[in-house]
């Protein structure tokens, strides 16, 4: 498969959005998410944690839910791209370990595996995320209070 220079450029810009999203969440810099999403974006975490909403709603959810979590890391890899003019779709593997307070109060490492399914829109400011859907694959070692929040 031979890619045009434009498609290679598009892929790099989209990959930067995927990575920027992950770092913003891991760094708890939720206002930074504004630079990655279009204003009318829909973010759907319903399979993982039962929440779906607009960017402002999701930013508030993230502030509340990730507040007590001292460490999290999103590792994204093996992205599939479908670019069609000014729209694109991707499917990306994400491995998400976190350190959370365990049921006994001690720090505990937990793990989530999922796919990020994104749609993107080219804007005058470049590519932006139009929608994000988290498709659940697995979780491991969850304390009881986290199990109660996940589906």
pLDDT in tens, the chain (151 residues): 799 999 999 999 999 999 999 999 999 999 999 999 999 999 999 999 999 999 999 999 999 999 889 999 999 999 999 999 999 999 999 999 999 999 998 999 999 999 999 999 999 999 999 999 999 999 999 998 888 777 5
Question: Kind and range of the H or E element at 20?
Answer: helix 5-26
Domain total of the chain: 1
What pLDDT score was predicted for residue 127?
A: 98
The pLDDT assigned to 151 comes to 54
Say which CATH number the domain at 81 has. 3.10.450.50
Neighbours of 20 (CB within 10 A): 16
Quote the domain boundaries for residue 81.
5-149
- pTM given for the model: 0.93
């Amino acid at each position: 498969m031979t890619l045009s220079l434009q498609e290679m450029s598009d892929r790099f810009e989209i990959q930067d959005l995927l990575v920027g999203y992950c770092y913003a969440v891991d760094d708890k810099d939720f206002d930074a998410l504004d630079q990655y999403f279009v204003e009318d974006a829909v973010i759907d975490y319903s399979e993982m944690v039962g929440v779906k909403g607009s960017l402002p709603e999701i930013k508030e959810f993230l502030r509340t839910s990730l507040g007590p979590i001292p460490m999290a890391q999103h590792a994204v890899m093996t992205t599939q791209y479908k670019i069609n003019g000014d729209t694109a779709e991707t499917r990306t593997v994400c491995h998400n370990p976190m350190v959370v307070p365990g049921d006994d109060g001690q720090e505990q490492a937990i793990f989530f595996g999922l796919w990020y399914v994104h749609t993107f829109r080219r804007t005058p400011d470049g590519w932006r995320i139009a929608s994000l859907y988290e498709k659940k694959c697995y979780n491991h070692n969850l304390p009881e209070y986290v199990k109660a929040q996940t589906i």
